[in-house]
């Protein structure tokens, strides 16, 4: 699972526990100026992932790490799709982040408030 917080003008994503290992990454820091939006999207986990590099995909267990599809990079950290949020990015290494969070509605509200 990921924890999303706002630190000044940055969106900070911290992977928890073994997700750091599965995702090959412990944290991400993205300037809020490069965040285009955020949505709660449990259906995103059903989307094709593309090629993982580096990443982990054990169907029904976890999707984590960097995935390449149609020339885009997407970062995943999802075990429970019902708790997935999608953060759309511009001018960043990743086109979007697909993350499992404790409370998707609260996370969306947090990020939208920081973007206002």
In the chain, where are the structural domains located? 2-115
Q: Calculate mean pLDDT across residues 71-95.
A: 94
Which pLDDT value is given to residue 48?
61
On the CB side of 110, CA atoms within 13 Å amount to: 20
On the CB side of 22, CA atoms within 13 Å amount to: 19
- Taking only the tens place, the pLDDT of each residue in 93-116 is 999 999 999 999 999 999 999 998
Which pLDDT value is given to residue 22?
80
Q: Calculate mean pLDDT across residues 6-19.
A: 94
Query: Which tokens is 95 given?
Result: 């086109």
Type and span of the H or E element at 23: helix 19-23
Which pLDDT value is given to residue 77?
93
The CATH number corresponding to 2-115 among 1.10.1740, 2.30.29, 2.40.50, 1.10.3470 equals 2.30.29
Which pLDDT value is given to residue 66?
92
- Taking only the tens place, the pLDDT of each residue in 22-77 is 888 899 999 999 999 999 988 877 776 777 788 787 777 888 899 998 889 999 99
Query: Which tokens is 91 given?
Result: 């001018």
Contacts of 8 (CB under 8 A, 6+ apart): none
Instruction: Report DSSP state, residue 79.
Output: S
Report which of residues 19 and 7 the model is more confident about.
7
Angle at 97 between CA 106 and CA 53, to 5 degrees: 150
Q: State how far the alpha carbon of 5 is from the alpha carbons of 42, 67, 88, 91, 112, in Å.
A: 20, 23, 16, 20, 12
The helices-and-strands tally (H runs, E runs) of the chain is: 2, 9
């Amino acid at each position: 699972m990921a924890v999303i917080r706002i630190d000044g003008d940055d969106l900070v994503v911290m992977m928890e526990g073994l997700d750091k290992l599965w995702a090959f990454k412990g944290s991400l820091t993205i300037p809020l100026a490069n965040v285009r939006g955020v949505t709660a999207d449990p259906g995103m986990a059903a989307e094709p992932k593309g090629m993982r590099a580096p990443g982990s995909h054990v169907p029904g267990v976890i999707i984590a790490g960097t995935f390449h599809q149609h020339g885009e990079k997407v970062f995943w950290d999802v075990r429970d799709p019902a708790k997935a949020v999608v953060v759309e990015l511009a001018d960043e290494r990743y086109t979007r982040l697909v993350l499992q969070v404790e409370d998707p509605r609260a996370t969306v509200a947090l990020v939208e408030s920081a973007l206002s």
